[in-house]
Structure 1
Amino acid sequence: MIRVGISKKDYVVARLAKDKGKPVPKLLLPSIQVNIRASHLGESESKWSTVPKNST
């Protein structure tokens, strides 16, 4: 999809068309949480990430 000579606009249009109708990735929200916390996963005894109920 990315190649020499493709404009940013053309890439965005192609990417939006490719992604249209696909579900949100399952690990998107947990990965955002980790990134917000500067890659800190939390306390060692904490086994789970907190994901909002209305995330899907």
Structure 2
Amino acid sequence: MGEHRQRYNEEFKKQTVQFIQEQTKTVGDLAEELNIPKSTLHQWMSQYRELKNELKS
């Protein structure tokens, strides 16, 4: 049987990154709570940090 991959929309990703940045918990703790792989959260953080910096320029 193949593994079913969860897909997330852009708004969810942006809100999750914002939530991570406002928390005092570790990314690992939040990944466990949200049931999203830690590596995925790191990718989103990297992606949306870059977008945020581009918007400021």
Normalising by structure 1, report the TM-score.
0.33
Normalising by structure 2, report the TM-score.
0.33
- Between structure 1 and structure 2, the one with the greater Rg is 1
